[in-house]
Chains A and B, each alone.
Chain A
């Protein structure tokens, strides 16, 4: 059974940093692109970033470029999102999602809440 479990969310002050983790199991993690998607309270989904199987390609939404870094450790079956210079508008539930071979995201974690507030 495919499982994605996020962790690392919490309350952080504006300008602060946080590192999210996603533990993957039930599939060959190193064979898939992986993504982070976020959802602000009461708002829609927003794609944040994705990363190629070997980590050689990474793409970001404009609003997080230069502040967020996506990475992965295939030996640990883990995906990460390092978030720096956090802003109030980064407050959201952050989902880890697998990019399917057919495109789209076929499996999602349960999400982890990040709250940026003083």
Chain B
């Protein structure tokens, strides 16, 4: 069972906006450690999408954005495209476990 909780799946039509939640606790998401997001296309390695809550690496479209409030974080995808069909994972550091933790993963489906 993952320390960070994500919905198993979300879906949306092309062009719509979808959000993925990542719920943790005061020992991980609720700290200043930062929440990071990854996209994993089928059969490939994860790719960094968002780092430190709301920062996009170069090359990541601005359709992807991150936010955090309290012990929850969110990834938003606006203008959903077919190529966004993938699994998405959040990640942070946990002070109780003294290590990195991942969310359970969310499958995004474009209808």
Our verdict on whether A and B bind, yes or no, reads no
Contact surface of A with B, Cβ cutoff 8 Å: none
Contact surface of B with A, Cβ cutoff 8 Å: none
